[in-house]
A = this chain, B = another copy of it.
């Protein structure tokens, strides 16, 4: 029995044991997908009245995208992408904007709390119920990413917002309560812990080496055993200290802090990167449940990216009570499989599928 390796994350103080004692093939992770479909999907076209008025609607008109907004009692139809407030928001705006401030309250030597000020929205990614990014038309994914950019720039500008998290729960195991293709956006009062730690480490790295920590990681991962796929603007790899089996990250190759720094070409290249990499995950593991989250901070030392976490293992008592993770799939073995699947996925994307 050989000794397992513990690995520390590139930047933050997070350790994982790569426990490969029991050899695993991708098929060992394939699970029956549970498909829950309610009688009526509130996100499908025709049911717009079942949701609150949309904050943002993309509608195609004479080959151009027009951006609209629903009003009370009126819902736009024939939309391409639709962004609505979450019916059960975790974070809410101050009742009168500017009237409440986010103040950390401390009582007697004591417990700390603050108002959960912010926003909680849903991006309905397509009129087609099942147009998830691993199978979507590239043209549709471009609309979705543009909607992310629009909502990000609106939310980050609000005085009570310190961070905007864009994330996706795919599949019942990943916490998706509705199966229609959708993303969530949560704006929070401060930079959350995980991203804050990355940012702090990145700033330190910058002041020490006069380079972006993430750019330096990309440079190394591009040519290493964890590389998956790249195009002109994006690169995907399994991170050195992956805490999930088949976890992978997608980075813009050009140094940029937030998604609104992307050019139009980069936006198109991201659509392709997401389509190929999430398609590869589908292909390899039979459409597994996964979460992904964007990490982004408008700071010169930061470099935005997407982290994709397939739900193939359960964090149990050890992980939950220690903060140390056990991953039974080495990121190097995961990369071999994902790389091959991404190649096949890209080949299968004919010109017509790309632009359907």
A residues at B contact (CB < 8 Å): 1, 3-8, 10, 13-15, 17, 19, 21-22, 88-92, 94-95, 100, 109, 111-117, 163, 165, 167-169, 173-176, 184, 186, 188-189, 192-195, 209, 216, 240-241, 291-295, 307, 309, 314-318, 320-324, 326
Contacts and interface: CB of A to CB of B under 8 A. Distances in A.
A169 B294 contact: no
* Interface-centre pick from A22, A111, A116 (highest chain B CB count, 10 A): A116
A295 B321 contact: yes
Contact of A5 (B113, B209, B315): B113
Given A90-B17, A316-B291, A321 B165 contact: yes
B116 A321 contact: no
A92 B3 contact: yes
Contacts of A94: 3
A309 B19 CA distance: 24
A329 to B, nearest CB: 13
Contact of A317 (B5, B116, B195, B291): B291
Contact of A318 (B92, B109, B293, B326): B293
17 contacts: A1-B89, A4-B116, A6-B115, A6-B116, A6-B189, A14-B193, A109-B209, A167-B321, A169-B316, A169-B317, A174-B316, A174-B317, A188-B324, A192-B323, A293-B320, A293-B321, A309-B321
A28 to B, nearest CB: 13
Cβ-closest 6 pairs across A and B: A293-B321, A167-B317, A175-B316, A192-B322, A194-B323, A291-B317
B317 A168 contact: yes
Contacts of A92: 1, 3-4
Contact of A19 (B1, B21, B88, B109): B88
Contact of A309 (B15, B169, B320): B320
A169 to B, nearest CB: 4
Contact of A3 (B8, B10, B115, B192): B115
Contacts of A100: 3
A100 B326 CA distance: 22
B193 A316 contact: no
Nearest to A188: B324
